[in-house]
Amino acid sequence: MDERLRRLAERYRAGNGDRRPVKERVAALYRTYVAKREGALIDAAAAAATVHSLFAADPASAAAVDPRLEEAFRLAFPNVDPESLRGLDPDALAPYLPALKGKYFEVLVRDRLNEGQWVGDIRLAPGQRAVLADSATQPGWDLQILNEDGSVAELLQLKATNSLSYVKAALERYPDIQVLTTDEVLVAGGDLQGVLGSGFSDAELEQAVDRGIEALFGDASDSVLGEVLPALPFVLIALREGRCVLMGRKTLAVACQDGLTGAARSGVAIGAGALAANLVSPGFGMATAALVRMGIHRHDRLSRASGLIQVRLEQLKRLRARPAAP
């Protein structure tokens, strides 16, 4: 019995056939541990990035472009290709903002009236419809209200501004056409004749246009990144397992099995992060996704180590149970 234990001890000291010095074997073991640890950290970061892309990204940039803003741009700048402005910095886009805000205001007023809602003190009668001018340089009026038979019921100038002098100038030029404007001018103008409030704020319109500019003209790479991030953990797993197959470290079948296992673990982490983001905050969800992914990795490592120890103990038990040699 003692002789068998002695041989077993010698075999472990010899490294199961590995004749490298102990220092090299320990260094190799450390490199393996670091590589696996780095892989787990990358998976955790990817899971957090996925939660960020789903919950913490700027909703203005992630959302689809407001179709009314797109229409407003076409109406205000019929000869400008929106793609020619994509990726420009804010300073380069600044000259387009005033006209875009004004036309966006017109589109909003038209749609709200045609939906049967009140815009300030104006509401369409049954059978009437609101129509914008065909040209951005239409003199005098910006919106006309047509009766059911096509006759003109009313003409309106629409001014999205906070400048009272600008509205007064429009009234002086076209005194017979009322001005429907934003609320800041209505407050500043008091009881100025010929000026109607719209219920829209000039400041809110500016904010809406500023937010929409990024969606309209933002760098295309941003939208591509937004589409890639949710799948990032699974892409990384596929690349890692594919590299192992190409280097001969794994067979294709083993790599596929390990890839599916890794994808399932990342999916659990992302699900936990998404739940935390909904219940608490996006930042807490990102942290949860990363911690759950690292926790799963640690649990797997401990489970494998425990299983290996159990196997070795069973081997020792069987060895001890053998009858001693005569």
Dihedral pair phi/psi, residue 267, rounded to 5°: -60, -40
Other CB atoms within a 10 A radius of the CB of residue 123 amount to 12
- Residues 220-238: tens digit of each pLDDT: 444 444 555 566 666 667 7
Identify the CA nearest to 110 among candidates 73, 77, 71, 84: 71
Cα 323-324-326 angle, rounded to 5 deg: 120
In angstroms, the CA 37 to CA 293 distance is: 12
Task: Say what the pLDDT of residue 127 is.
Answer: 95
Is the overall model pTM greater than 0.85, yes or no?
no
- Residues 242-292: tens digit of each pLDDT: 777 788 777 888 778 877 887 777 777 777 777 777 787 777 777 887 777
Other CB atoms within a 10 A radius of the CB of residue 195 amount to 23
